[in-house]
A and B are shown apart, each in its own frame.
Chain A
């Protein structure tokens, strides 16, 4: 399974846009890129998922270049409540195995 690398921590201020980049050089053809968010004392929560190009939902955007060896999670205008750990995962389609491989994640701290 592809390994991911992302910054251990990031700091931001309220109202700023935050971009978290994840490297996954060994991504396979059938792998999707998925981001989870985890608040203290809670389980991880699915944010967004994509295969290539750009995906946007009500929470975030996900940018994936053509070679798919990296991806960038973009959080527009963060607030204090976006302080959390963000995990980048590379997961194969279901029929090739369902387990998720978590890295250490990026601890985002949003300050007033």
Chain B
């Protein structure tokens, strides 16, 4: 079974430019999450999709970040315009929908390292 994949693995852009990150979850997983770790900080939650709907976007830092998941399959995270503080590693994770008495094991992708110069 293929795992969570992310593209690109690295991206170097200049301040003010736009970058789009892509995440392909494990097939059949309805839940898709975005996280990021900026330099020296902890991994922080950004948002959570259930299929194509945004379940929780409380971690999105500002309106320069736009996440989409059209059709409930892959997701994109666009940063426009990018700022220096957006540099970091962006992780995507996916999980199946579980029952009310179960927990939600998340499977992470390798991450996209974003560097904003």
Contacts and interface: CB of A to CB of B under 8 A. Distances in A.
Interface of A: 32, 34, 41-46, 49, 87, 91, 93-95, 97-105
| Most chain A CB inside 10 Å of its own CB: which residue of B43, B107, B109, B110 | B43
A108 B6 CA distance: 27
Main secondary structure of the interface of A (DSSP, over half): loop
B100 interface: yes
A34 B103 contact: yes
SS class, residues of chain B in contact with chain A: loop
Contacts of A103: 42
A98 B95 contact: yes
Interface residues of B, number: 32
Counting chain B CB atoms within 10 Å of each CB, the highest count among A93, A100, A102 belongs to A100
B56 A97 contact: yes
Contacts of A93: 98, 100-104
B48 A99 contact: yes
A87 B101 CA distance: 23
Interface in B94-117: 95, 97-111
Given A43-B91, A87-B43, A93-B102, 16 more contacts: A32-B103, A41-B111, A43-B109, A43-B111, A44-B43, A49-B103, A91-B103, A94-B98, A94-B100, A94-B102, A97-B56, A99-B33, A99-B45, A99-B56, A101-B45, A102-B35
